[in-house]
Structure formats: structure tokens, C-alpha cells
Amino acid sequence: MQTELQPIHPVRKRRRKRRRKNPLRLMIPVLLVVLAVIITAAVSHGKSQDYPWILRHSHLVHMEPQSPPEIPDWVTQELIPVNQYSRPGTPLEQVNGIVVHYVGNPGTTAQNNRDYFASLAETGETSASSHFVIGLDGEIIQCVPLDEIAYCSNDRNDDTISIECCHPNKDGKFTDATYSSLVRLTAYLANYYGLKEKDIIRHYDVTGKECPIYFVKHEDAWAQFRSDVSNYIKENYK
């Protein structure tokens, strides 16, 4: 007897179910690239300015407040009483620059200008002050503590130290004594806070105001001043 052969059915291949790709997973690498670009741009922007962009925006990056240096014995402390017009008592948490000014009142002394700042507490005629004032004979008076802002440099008040300089004439040129003290004080502060030449700026560089006028009219003198500060640091602190 012949055995009846059963028909052979073809084996069906199981199709693997394709997993649907989560669109959010696909977006993650893209988002990471975009974030990297933003951070790189932010850092680059900071390097191209006179002050670091990230440090200027403390709500984005938490920074520990910097402790101020000790005041040397060649600086006289005559701090202005706390008041809303010349010493608000607002903390200066980061120092990213030093701003040089001239008083704009030829022939006045460091004491005259310090006392004027103090008088604003009574008169309230304007808001103005400076961390330091350098006189015609090179004397230096500190008016505001270095861990508080001064009302001197507009939108750079919150991250800079200000230095006002007296001058004998309208051209704003400093006496040799004033200039020497300015170099010495700027170098002392720049060395402590780790600042570079580019971090030493004029009021002019912040607002466009011709202050200090001699350094605005004479760019070569300004460049020489910055160089003198750097040399002073190398000779005395390195």
C-alpha cells in the first residue's frame, strides 16, 4: 500500500514588529548640540567683552562672593556713612574690572571730593560716589568698602571698583604724584583680583562719556598707563 503523502505547508516567517521610535529620544541629541552651541556662544561673548558675560549674569551661574583685600597703609580710609545717595550698602559680590575716572572739577582735592560724596546723604541732589579718590599730591582716600558697590560706573557698578582722580587743569591730565598713585593702586587691586590689562577700563569704555578726558583724548597715554600697571605687577607681585 502506498502511504498517502500529506501536503507540506510552507513555514511562515514571523515578522518582527518594528518598534516605533520615540520622537523625544531623537530630539535629545539635537537639544544637547543646541545647548552646547549656546554655552560656547555665551563664553565667546564674554571673552570678547571687557568683562565675562557669565560672571555678569549671576542668576545663570552661582559664584561665591569674593573677599576684599586688606587696605594697605598708604591708603586712608574715610568711609562714607551708609545712605541711599552715595553708599547704598549693596554687596559687590564679584570684581571683574577697575574703572578709572577723573573728578571733572579742576583744582579740587581728594578730601573735597570725598566730602562731596558724603554730603549727598543730606542734599540728595544726585547719586554719586567712588571706592577711591586720588588727590593732586598722590594721597588716596577710600570712600566705599570694596565689598559694596559705589555709584560711579553706571551699569558696571555691580562688578567693578571705581577710582576717581583729581587734576589741576581742565585738560584732565594728572600730576605725576596722582599718576604714580593711580598705577600703584590699580596694580594692587588688579593683582589681588586676578585682573588683566583688558579689565582695566575708562568710564568712557562703559558709557562713551569723555572720562577721564585726558586718557580719552590721548589713547597712547591710556595704553602706556595700562602697560605701566602690568609692569608694576611683574616687578612687585610676581
Give pTM, 2 decimals. 0.75
- Whether residue 18 is predicted with pLDDT greater than 60 in this model: the reply is no
> How far apart (Å, rounded) are the C-alpha atoms in residues 60 and 208?
28
> How far apart (Å, rounded) are the C-alpha atoms in residues 95 and 193?
7
Burial class (CB in 10 A: 0-12, 13-18, 19+), 62: exposed
Query: Which tens digits make up the pLDDT trace of 90-144?
Result: 999 999 999 999 999 999 999 999 999 999 999 999 999 999 999 999 999 999 9
> How far apart (Å, rounded) are the C-alpha atoms in residues 140 and 114?
10
